[in-house]
């Protein structure tokens, strides 16, 4: 099991891995969860998959993606869009309630957004925690490399149950919301104590 962080600057070194991440996202979000998201050629994508973002992947020796997540700086801008949580708060996204945060969405170089996080639906329960921990360790490595002090994520509301097991310092950033039959909540993930 391997992990890496892709950017537009290094993805050419990793063959099909970026396309495999987008294929795995399609399987996780469109096929498994039934979300109405853009897709083409068997890949899920959206307006936040830009050169500003990074894509973290846990994968096996054949390039099969076991888990992944997208990181986007809260300073990102592309046309009318910035990052998903802020755009939802500003009323640009119909699928996410605008009152998802307790406070205004930040624009800060040390704060990045976490979106499209998944563990592939066919991963056996016996290794799911190991896969999740590998993804968390890659997030930690990448946060150190990029100088990320905290991350803002929209997660299933059961995040309390696995945050401690994954050794993540997380607190609620907004209210519980039901979206598509699943309860979600915005959360802060603090990496500031782990940057050195």
Tens of pLDDT, residues 69-113? 999 999 999 999 999 999 999 999 988 899 999 999 999 999 999
**pLDDT tier at 196 (50, 70, 90 boundaries)?**
very low
Give the model confidence (pLDDT) of 3-13 as tens digits. 999 999 999 99
Question: What is the DSSP annotation of 70-139?
Answer: EEEETT--BTTB--HHHHHHTT--TTS-TT--SSPPP--TTEEEEEEEEE-TTS-HHHHHHHHHHHHHHH
Closest CA to 98 of 89, 109, 106: 89
Number of domains in the chain: 1
**140, containing H or E segment:** helix 125-146
- Beta pairing, strands 182-190 & 169-172: antiparallel
| Rounded CA separation 196/193 (Å) | 7
- Print the domain residue range for 114: 2-194
Chain centroid, CA 34 distance in Å? 18
In CATH, what number is assigned to the domain containing residue 53?
Answer: 3.40.630.30
pTM: 0.90
State the virtual CA torsion across 144, 148, 154, 158 in degrees, nearest 10: 50
Give the tens place of pLDDT for each residue, 14-35. Answer: 989 999 999 999 988 888 888 8
């Amino acid at each position: 099991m391997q992990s890496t962080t892709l950017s537009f600057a290094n993805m050419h070194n990793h063959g099909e891995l970026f396309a495999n991440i987008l294929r795995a996202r399609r399987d996780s979000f469109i096929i498994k969860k039934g979300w109405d998201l853009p897709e083409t050629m068997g890949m899920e994508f959206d307006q936040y998959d830009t050169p500003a973002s990074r894509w973290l992947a846990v994968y096996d020796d054949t390039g099969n993606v076991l888990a992944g997540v997208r990181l986007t700086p809260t300073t990102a801008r592309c046309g009318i869009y910035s990052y998903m949580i802020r755009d939802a708060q500003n009323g640009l996204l119909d699928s996410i309630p605008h009152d998802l945060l307790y406070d205004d969405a930040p624009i800060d170089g040390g704060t990045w957004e976490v979106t499209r996080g998944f563990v592939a639906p066919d991963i056996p329960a016996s290794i799911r925690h190991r896969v999740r921990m590998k993804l968390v360790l890659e997030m930690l490595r990448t946060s150190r490399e990029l100088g990320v002090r905290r991350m803002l994520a929209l997660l299933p509301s059961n995040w309390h149950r696995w945050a401690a097991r994954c050794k993540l310092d997380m607190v609620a950033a907004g209210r519980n919301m039901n979206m598509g039959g699943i309860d979600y909540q915005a959360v802060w993930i603090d990496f500031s104590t782990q940057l050195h």
